[in-house]
Amino acid sequence: MSNSRTITADTVIIGGGVAALWTANVLKQSGQSIVVLTNSPLGAGQSLAAQGVIHGGLKYAVGGKLTESSEALAGMPGRWLDAIKGIGPVDLSGASLLSDHQLMWSLPNVVSQVVSFFGSKALRGRSGGVPRDQYPEVFDTDAYQGKLFRIEEPVVDPVGVIRELARGVEKDTWQIDWDRNARLDVKDGEIAAVEITEESGKPVRLEAGHFLLAAGSGNSQLLKTVGISRPEMQLRPLHQLIIRQRNLPPFYSVCVGTGPKPPLVSTTHIDSKGRTVWYIGGDIAEQNGVARSEAEQIEAGKELFARLMPWIDLSEAEWFTWRGDRAEPLTGTGDRPSGAFCERVGNVLVAWPTKLALAPDLADQLLRETGGSRVGGTVSLDLPKPELGKAPWELA
Ligand SMILES: Cc1cc2nc3c(=O)[nH]c(=O)nc-3n(C[C@H](O)[C@H](O)[C@H](O)COP(=O)(O)OP(=O)(O)OC[C@H]3O[C@@H](n4cnc5c(N)ncnc54)[C@H](O)[C@@H]3O)c2cc1C
């Protein structure tokens, strides 16, 4: 680009979900100059579609032992609760904590397995049985014959989280269009600069010490453009259920069945018109659910609720589904990687948090990798600002 103005930042972050935005807040607070570039509304990939469960690893430990995956997650609820209180580098005090815990409930045939697991010392106070006289509305019926456990895994509102993270780096975030006003200048498998055409038509060359690819499923194309063959990405699809009905009771839960995955994971959200939504993931949203059409998935959801929770009246409910992919580093087994992932290739850092919950862990790794501030200050670009994306129940 001839006659272009050159701007230098410490770290250019490409992405606009929880990974990019949480990391941007942490790097900025450390004194780095940062630039966040997104090609879509913020959170529009996976982050706004997340159920918002801040796993502490218990779901992955139900098999009986605390796995590598559950250990990586163990510190995350505390980190998020601090952020919600406004403690630490990331201020989420404007975002809602939807619930400070989840319920774990069981199908009648697995009660003994669950009771022995939750009675075990391994849980170190992360869970406890709920006495019958304290059952919440959704299970307060003689028709429920299983046991209820409280697990100390909070549920956050992903919309509020992305909004507040975006607010913290609003001045440093811009929307780009790779076909219209931005291009990667690649040299020897590294990124030399992002070449930008500002709204006024002026060319800008944006250089940086590090370029972070934190674009979820968009990382695959970015890696191709830079010519990086490893790490590779995997996509794991989901087909979530959305049940909308006025006055549904709060329902934040993991159901334990006989298989390795919970048949159902539920969270509760209020949409922009004040209507209650149950958002359902778990095994029903995985492989078999992905293979189903929307109508078949809704039918399967109705059957599941009629079987597991026949006391719940969903006769007035509107049912929808949401399809999307979880984007992660390739594991080779098709399973979920055990922790937040970050790998350096020259001046390029490739990152996938693998869970919303692990965003703080990812940002810690990236702060270490980018090694403190060299340039500092702020960068100014004449480019449009991105909007906030919409949650699946707003699209339904
Ligand atoms: C249905 C569902 C439920 C989930 N529930 C939970 C849960 O309860 N708890 C949990 O911990 N995790 C959950 N997850 C996982 C979690 O949502 C993801 O791990 C996390 O949101 C990934 O964040 P990300 O920032 O890497 O990607 P994304 O959220 O996908 O963000 C990527 C963003 O990058 C930008 N972008 C994309 N391509 C480009 C490009 N080429 N150039 C510039 N910008 C680009 C866009 O703004 C896009 O929004 C769930 C995932 C799904 C799909």
* 76 Cα to the center of ligand 1, angstroms: 17
> What pLDDT score was predicted for residue 108?
73
Q: Whose CA is nearest to atom 41 of ligand 1?
A: 218
Residue type, 317: A
Ligand 1 mutation pick, 356, 383, 385, 393, max ligand atoms within 8 A of CB? 356
Q: Whose CA is nearest to atom 38 of ligand 1?
A: 218
Nearest alpha-carbon partner for 392 in 217, 237, 242? 242
Whether 224 is covered by a domain: the verdict is: yes
Question: Beta strands 253-256 and 102-106: pairing type?
Answer: parallel
Instruction: Give the domain range for residue 192.
Output: 5-47+162-233+332-395
Whether 241 is covered by a domain: the verdict is: no
47 Cβ below 6 A of ligand 1: yes
15 Cβ below 6 A of ligand 1: yes
- Burial of residue 315 (CB within 10 Å: 0-12, 13-18, 19+) is exposed
Whether 310 is covered by a domain: the verdict is: no
Whether 212 is covered by a domain: the verdict is: yes
281 Cβ below 6 A of ligand 1: yes
Q: How far apart are CA 269 and CA 155, in angstroms?
A: 10
264 Cβ below 6 A of ligand 1: no
> What pLDDT score was predicted for residue 30?
94
Q: How far apart are CA 270 and CA 272, in angstroms?
A: 7
Q: How far apart are CA 207 and CA 193, in angstroms?
A: 5
Q: What atom in ligand 1 is closest to the CA of residue 38?
A: 44
- Listed range (36-45, 128-137, 342-351) with the worst mean pLDDT: 128-137
Q: What is the pLDDT of residues 77-95, one digit of tens each?
A: 999 999 999 999 999 999 9
Local confidence band at 111 (pLDDT 50, 70, 90 cut-offs): low
370 Cβ below 6 A of ligand 1: no
> What pLDDT score was predicted for residue 67?
64
* 15 Cα to the center of ligand 1, angstroms: 9
354 Cβ below 6 A of ligand 1: yes
* 38 Cα to the center of ligand 1, angstroms: 13
Whether 173 is covered by a domain: the verdict is: yes
* 340 Cα to the center of ligand 1, angstroms: 13
Q: What atom in ligand 1 is closest to the CA of residue 267?
A: 8
Q: Kindly state the average pLDDT of the residues 172-187.
A: 98
226 Cβ below 6 A of ligand 1: no
CATH code, 382:
3.50.50.60
Local confidence band at 118 (pLDDT 50, 70, 90 cut-offs): low
* 144 Cα to the center of ligand 1, angstroms: 35
326 Cβ below 6 A of ligand 1: yes
Q: What is the pLDDT of residues 180-210, one digit of tens each?
A: 999 999 999 999 999 999 999 999 999 999 9
Is the predicted pLDDT of residue 64 greater than 60, yes or no?
no
Q: What is the pLDDT of residues 245-275, one digit of tens each?
A: 988 999 999 998 888 889 999 999 999 999 9
- Listed range (6-15, 98-107, 167-176) with the worst mean pLDDT: 98-107
Instruction: Supply the DSSP symbol for 53.
Output: B
Sign of CA dihedral 24, 29, 30, 31: positive
Q: How far apart are CA 26 and CA 32, in angstroms?
A: 9
222 Cβ below 6 A of ligand 1: yes
In the chain, the DSSP E strands lie at 5-14, 34-38, 97-99, 102-106, 127-129, 148-151, 155-156, 173-175, 182-187, 190-197, 203-213, 233-244, 253-256, 265-270, 276-281, 318-329, 341-345, 348-352
329 Cβ below 6 A of ligand 1: no
Tell me, yes or no, if the pTM score tops 0.85.
yes
Percentage of residues in the chain with pLDDT exceeding 90? Answer: 81
Q: Whose CA is nearest to atom 35 of ligand 1?
A: 15
CA angle 285, 152, 303 (to 5 degrees): 30
Whether 284 is covered by a domain: the verdict is: no
Q: What is the pLDDT of residues 121-130, one digit of tens each?
A: 556 567 788 9
267 Cβ below 6 A of ligand 1: no
Sign of CA dihedral 257, 261, 263, 265: positive
Local confidence band at 3 (pLDDT 50, 70, 90 cut-offs): confident
Whether 345 is covered by a domain: the verdict is: yes
Q: What is the pLDDT of residues 28-62, one digit of tens each?
A: 999 999 999 999 999 999 999 999 999 987 765 55
Q: What are phi and psi of 268, to 5 degrees?
A: -125, 135
* 163 Cα to the center of ligand 1, angstroms: 14
Is the predicted pLDDT of residue 298 greater than 80, yes or no?
yes
- Burial of residue 260 (CB within 10 Å: 0-12, 13-18, 19+) is exposed
* 313 Cα to the center of ligand 1, angstroms: 33
Mean pLDDT (the chain) is 93
208 Cβ below 6 A of ligand 1: no
Count of domains for the chain: 1
Q: What is the dihedral of CA 51, 52, 57, 58, to 10 degrees?
A: -60
19 Cβ below 6 A of ligand 1: yes
Whether 20 is covered by a domain: the verdict is: yes
> What pLDDT score was predicted for residue 331?
87
